[in-house]
Structures are given as structure tokens and as C-alpha cells.
């Protein structure tokens, strides 16, 4: 991965942060993007001169294009795009008590999650791919989730977005293969990001109990999967969805 130019969205924390660290360790030049400028800039400084932070909202097509154009002008190429940015806004589709509707998922929450998790992946990939086509190769890696494969209670919006990411991954693998661009998705299970680690211990125990390996994933586990899929060791893998879930799918 030495001197490869790697663009990571949602790179300031959690899986994105671990991914930025992993690629830097492998010798890549990393551009991490996020809305959290304070955390992103601090991470870039800690990673050294081969890392750079750029603040961008992946739902803003113009801002994404400007960012990608600047990266390409600076480094003269983009070798790997990791579409990691994402959010959750969980709620049941409808909640009924005694035959009466008492609550439902807000339309604004549905739109927000789809805008970031799905449209953001579309925006970033569409901006980066022309540069990859011009250089006759590249790798696009998309963040999905095991819930995008199997569903999850209370996550209509999140599941829809992650299932959509899998669908786009397979389409792009077909469309872009002739340009030597590989497109794959990673589907994490329960992962001990900063957000998850703050959950009540009872909830965490339940997550571990449902996972055959008996533990939560670490962000580094997911980062290692991204690194492998970006490497030449995965040169014949495209259109795949790699589950990094400790066996939770077979466990449930």
C-alpha cells in the first residue's frame, strides 16, 4: 500500500479512524474526511505528514466534488475510496399500544439516514470513479452491515441504507470491472466503537452473547478487512460482501 492515495469518509472516529491508522501503517497517503473537524485534524496530526484532514458533508454533492478534485490535483491520483461515513436514527416503523398508534419513525430520520448512508456513498463514488477510470484502476470499498443482509428490529432506515449499499456495490462491480476498478463491501457485526462502548453493560452483554466468538468486534478488525480488500492480495475479488461479524449471522 506504500504511497497509495486513500480517501476515507467518516474518518475522524470509530471504524474510520482505525482504518486511517491501518492504511497509514501500510505506507499509504491518507485523506480522512469528516464533519468533526476537531477530531479529524487531531487524528491527521497524530498520523504524521502522510495524513491530511478535509471537512466535508457527504450529502453535499458540490462539496464532495470540490474535495475530490482537490485531492486528485494534490496527489495526481486516487487509488482507494473507503465509503465509511454513516449515522443511525433508530425507531420502530410504527409502535402500537392497546390498538392505538403511539409513535412511529419520523420521516426526517428516514431521510437523514438514507441521505448520508446511501446517497453519500453514491456522491463520493461518482466523484472519485472518473479519476480511477483515467488512471485505469482503483478500489472502492463500501460500509454495509450484517443488518443490511438480514434486517434488524427498529432499524428500517439503517437497514434500507445498508441493503442499498450492497446493491450498489454489485452494480458498480459489474460496470467498472472493465476499467480495472474493484468494488466490494464490508458488513460489520457488533463493533466496539466509541458510540457502542457507551451503551449499558446489559446491552453489551447481550451483544456478546449473540456472537459465537463471544466478543464484540474491534474497529481494527474492520480496518484490517478494508486493508486486505484494497491490497493486491485481493486483486481477483470484486462485487463481494465480506462479513466481519464474529459469526453473529450463523449464531442467530
Q: Which of 75, 131, 150, 158 is catalytic?
A: 158
Query: Under a CB-based contact definition with an 8 Å cutoff, are residues 228 and 236 in contact?
Result: no
Bridge-partner residues for 243, per DSSP?
187
E-assigned strand segments in the chain: 5-9, 29-34, 51-55, 80-83, 94-97, 100-104, 138-143, 181-188, 241-244
Cα distances (angstroms) measured from residue 81 to each of 6, 11, 70, 217: 6, 12, 15, 22
Q: What are phi and psi of 98, to 5 degrees?
A: 55, 40
Bridge-partner residues for 30, per DSSP?
6, 51
Active site residue 226: no
Buried b (16+ CB within 10 A) or exposed e, 40-63: bbebbeebeebbbbbebbbbebeb
Helical ranges in 12-60 per DSSP H: 14-25, 37-47
> What pLDDT does 8 receive?
98
> What pLDDT does 252 receive?
52
> What pLDDT does 107 receive?
98
CATH of 5-251, one of 3.90.550.10, 3.40.50.300, 3.40.50.720, 3.40.50.1110: 3.40.50.720
Cβ atoms within 10 Å of 212's Cβ, excluding its own: 14
Nearest 10 degrees: Cα torsion 177, 182, 183, 186: 150
> What pLDDT does 190 receive?
87
Three cell numbers, residue 48:
504524521
> What pLDDT does 251 receive?
55
Cα distances (angstroms) measured from residue 239 to each of 66, 76, 157, 167, 173: 28, 27, 23, 9, 5
Burial of 26 (0-12, 13-18, 19+ CB in 10 A): middle
> What pLDDT does 250 receive?
66
Rounded (10°) angle between helices 61-75 and 120-134? 30
In the chain, which residues have pLDDT < 50? none
pTM of the model: 0.94
Amino acid at each position: 500500500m506504500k504511497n497509495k492515495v486513500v480517501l476515507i469518509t467518516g474518518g475522524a472516529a470509530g471504524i474510520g479512524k482505525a482504518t486511517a491508522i491501518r492504511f497509514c501503517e501500510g505506507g499509504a497517503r491518507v485523506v480522512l474526511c469528516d464533519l468533526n473537524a476537531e477530531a479529524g485534524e487531531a487524528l491527521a496530526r497524530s498520523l504524521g505528514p502522510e495524513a491530511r484532514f478535509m471537512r466535508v458533508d457527504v450529502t453535499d454533492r458540490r462539496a464532495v466534488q470540490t474535495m475530490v478534485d482537490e485531492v486528485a490535483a494534490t496527489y495526481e491520483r486516487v487509488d482507494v475510496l473507503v465509503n465509511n461515513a454513516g449515522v443511525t436514527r433508530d425507531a420502530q416503523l410504527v409502535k402500537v399500544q392497546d390498538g392505538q398508534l403511539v409513535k412511529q419513525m419520523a420521516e426526517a430520520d428516514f431521510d437523514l439516514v438514507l441521505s448520508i448512508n446511501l446517497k453519500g456513498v453514491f456522491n463520493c463514488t461518482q466523484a472519485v470513479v472518473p479519476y480511477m477510470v483515467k488512471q485505469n484502476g482503483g478500489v472502492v470499498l463500501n460500509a454495509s452491515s450484517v443488518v443490511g443482509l438480514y434486517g434488524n428490529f427498529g432499524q428500517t432506515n439503517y437497514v434500507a441504507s445498508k441493503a442499498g449499499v450492497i446493491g450498489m456495490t454489485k452494480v458498480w462491480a459489474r460496470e467498472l470491472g472493465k476499467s480495472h476498478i474493484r468494488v466490494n463491501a464490508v458488513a460489520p457485526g457488533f463493533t466496539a466503537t466509541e458510540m457502542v462502548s457507551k451503551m449499558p453493560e446489559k446491552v453489551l452483554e447481550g451483544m456478546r452473547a449473540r456472537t459465537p466468538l463471544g466478543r464484540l468486534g474491534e474497529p481494527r478488525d474492520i480496518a484490517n478487512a478494508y486493508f486486505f480488500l484494497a491490497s493486491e492480495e485481493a486483486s481477483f475479488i470484486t462485487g463481494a460482501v465480506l462479513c466481519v461479524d464474529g459469526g453473529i449471522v450463523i449464531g442467530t
